[in-house]
Chain A
Amino acid sequence: MSVEIARPDRLSVLRVNLAQQRRALVWWAIAIALMALLFAAVYPSVRDSGDTFDDYLEQLPDAFRSILGEDLTSPAGYLWSQLFSSMGPIVYLVYAIGAGARAIAGEEEAGSLDLVLATPLRRTVVLRDKALGLVSGTVLLSAVLFVALAILGPAFDMTVPLGDLLAAHAVQALLSLAFGMIALAIGAATGARALAIGVTSALAVLTYLLWALAPSVDALEPVLPLSPFRWFADPQPVAEGTELVNVVVLAAISAVAYAIGLVTFRERDLAT
């Protein structure tokens, strides 16, 4: 005798996850659009005082120059040095690490994961949908910045080729997704949200420093490829676009983290 078994609706966890993220995503989107407006609005005055900035750059230590690039006043140089080399990734990392840690560990700590996993959903499906929720949020917020800069840029004489702008957003999204997925995996493996946020943030800071300091510290040069930021930043994407290998490496970090999360989450006891 075979019993007809109820199956979950397709992507039901993703849909619920997006509904839960909706309010936060709206605020993130507003903040990001305002950030784009601010950076675009300031650009004309930066360009007009170009020489001052170039002098300023001359005085900076090598490490800072390697982060900021050699050119602060062209549209691509400005966007890179002021936005994509610091503020941009920070914003997206904060979102992605928070959302990744909340995905499994946050829900487990809140206690509602017991109820979710007492339905016919497989653990792997729950993890997959939560990861898709993280991807969706990251892509959505990246699209907001891309569209805002694509529209606002020309309005403030800050025009960069759309292909390069898209490439910069793509590697920035992949970079934040990599850390978001690491946070998700640590949360899935341990059920501890604060731990996932702490370890992942520490990892992000350390690999950022590795990337920033490697050009001026010879000993760091050989391990530079271990930093996801290297694959984000070189070639400087706003000016030169990016390369396939960069995309592959960044995506591979997410994929490996996801796989580790999947295996560990399937095997362990849930916390009460």
Chain B
Amino acid sequence: MASVVVADRLTKSYGSTRGVVELTFEVDAGEVFGFLGPNGAGKTTTIRTMLDLIRPTEGGITVFGLRPRDDAPAIHARVGYLPGELALYERMTALELLSAFGSFRGGVARSRIDALAERLGLDLTRRIRSLSHGNKQKVGLVLAFAHEPELLILDEPTQGLDPLMQQEFYAMIDEARSRGATVFLSSHVMPEVERVCDRVAIIREGRLVTVADVGELKARAVRRLAFHFDGPAPLQAFTSLPSVRDAEAHGDTLRLTVQGVVDPVVKEAARHTVVSMESEEASLEEIFLAIYRDGTHRDASDGDGSDG
């Protein structure tokens, strides 16, 4: 299928630190594409070049095969955008605001607005300035989804949403996908990307670290496990397992860092009496480290060694 977003050595330089460097990736039609990285990595910069809010310094990006610089209105007509830092017209009611932005799109069906508001539990008669952060975020979501766009560009969409609303949001993403929409979702938390995305690009300090299937990434993911046994923790048997990166025993507790499939570890543990166990999701930083260790970071291998 055709690519909806194509970034080709996309570079945006600001004075010193921020910006992005030679990003190359493609987002296929109909997929949910995660854009994962810590805050300040360049996610918002990339998104704003897609929408012609800022222009690339070098390289380029196309959306629906169009250059944002030349065809912003045509792109925008087919895009729903939720900014990372949402700023709305504070004095309007939610409905007034949604109608105003609807008029910027040649009208948006009131029934769609009502349905989304109802679903998210948003009171449309309230003034924006009286809304909590989470409720403002819901207004932003209605704004992005109401015109049923072909491409959703969502910058940190779940910030401020309570867990229940996050689940509702994930369901909305799933529905958008099933009607054929493409979703570009930036996030700084791995579980969210795992939950909704098909593929994920990982970005750090303005550079693309990797683009991978979420399944593939999960297989590579690092996890911390702790087993509590009914006797002294057996250490020896675990250190030799291939997926175990690190292991230590204290009394009846065994702590392991495991990369990839945990099956061999669990099977080994099952040979003893396990009183309880804990599993902790790896942090983004640990995922980065694991990826770097695997040598998938291209720039590191073809660099001129000036930094080493």
> A residues bordering B, Cβ < 8 Å?
3, 5-9, 12-13, 15-16, 19-20, 110-112, 114-123, 269-270, 272
Q: Digit string of B73-108 for contact with A (CB within 8 Å is 1, else 0)? A: 110111101010111110100001000110111110
Contacts A6-B147, A272-B85 supplied; 4 other A-B pairs, CB < 8 Å = A7-B77, A115-B83, A118-B79, A270-B48
Which of A15, A115, A117: most chain B CB closer than 10 A? A115
Measured CA separation A66–B48 after assembly (Å): 54
CB-CB under 8 A from A5, the residues of chain B are: 73-74, 77-78
Name the prevailing secondary structure of the B interface residues: loop
Q: Is the CB of B77 within 8 A of A120?
A: yes
CB-CB under 8 A from B77, the residues of chain A are: 5-7, 120
CB-CB under 8 A from B266, the residues of chain A are: none
Name the prevailing secondary structure of the A interface residues: loop
B51 within 8 A of A: yes
- Minimal Cβ-Cβ distance residue in A for B80: A118
Q: Which of A110, A120, A270, A272 contacts B105 (CB 8 A)?
A: A120
Measured CA separation A110–B92 after assembly (Å): 14
Q: Is the CB of A272 within 8 A of B104?
A: no
B44 within 8 A of A: yes
CB-CB under 8 A from A6, the residues of chain B are: 77, 105-107, 147
CB-CB under 8 A from B85, the residues of chain A are: 111, 272
Q: Contacts A6-B105, A9-B106: A119 and B76 contacting too (C-beta < 8 A)?
A: yes
Q: Contacts A8-B104, A12-B103: A117 and B54 contacting too (C-beta < 8 A)?
A: no
Q: Which of A12, A15, A114, A123 contacts B87 (CB 8 A)?
A: A114
- Minimal Cβ-Cβ distance residue in A for B83: A114
B300 within 8 A of A: no
What class of interface size applies to chain B in its complex with A? Answer: 20 to 34
B72 within 8 A of A: yes
Measured CA separation A260–B42 after assembly (Å): 31
CB-CB under 8 A from A122, the residues of chain B are: 72-73
Q: Is the CB of B87 within 8 A of A116?
A: no
- Minimal Cβ-Cβ distance residue in A for B54: A269
Within 8 A of A (CB), among B242-269: none
CB-CB under 8 A from A272, the residues of chain B are: 44, 48, 85
Measured CA separation A121–B105 after assembly (Å): 8
CB-CB under 8 A from B91, the residues of chain A are: 20
A74 to chain B, nearest CB (A): 46
Within 8 A of A (CB), among B89-131: 89, 91, 96, 100-101, 103-107
Q: Is the CB of A9 within 8 A of B103?
A: yes
A48 to chain B, nearest CB (A): 48
Which of A7, A116, A120: most chain B CB closer than 10 A? A120
Measured CA separation A115–B88 after assembly (Å): 8
Measured CA separation A75–B114 after assembly (Å): 59
Measured CA separation A15–B100 after assembly (Å): 9
- Minimal Cβ-Cβ distance residue in B for A119: B104
A179 to chain B, nearest CB (A): 26
Q: Contacts A12-B104, A122-B72: A117 and B89 contacting too (C-beta < 8 A)?
A: no
CB-CB under 8 A from B106, the residues of chain A are: 6-9, 120
A10 to chain B, nearest CB (A): 9
Q: Is the CB of A16 within 8 A of B100?
A: yes
Q: Is the CB of A121 within 8 A of B53?
A: no
Measured CA separation A16–B105 after assembly (Å): 13
Q: Which of B44, B74, B101 contacts A115 (CB 8 A)?
A: B101
Q: Is the CB of A115 within 8 A of B81?
A: yes
B200 to chain A, nearest CB (A): 23
B214 within 8 A of A: no
Measured CA separation A2–B66 after assembly (Å): 13
A130 to chain B, nearest CB (A): 13
Q: Is the CB of B104 within 8 A of A112?
A: no
- Minimal Cβ-Cβ distance residue in B for A267: B55
Q: Is the CB of B143 within 8 A of A9?
A: no
Measured CA separation A200–B103 after assembly (Å): 32
Q: Is the CB of A118 within 8 A of B78?
A: no
Q: Contacts A112-B87, A121-B73: A269 and B55 contacting too (C-beta < 8 A)?
A: yes
Measured CA separation A119–B52 after assembly (Å): 11
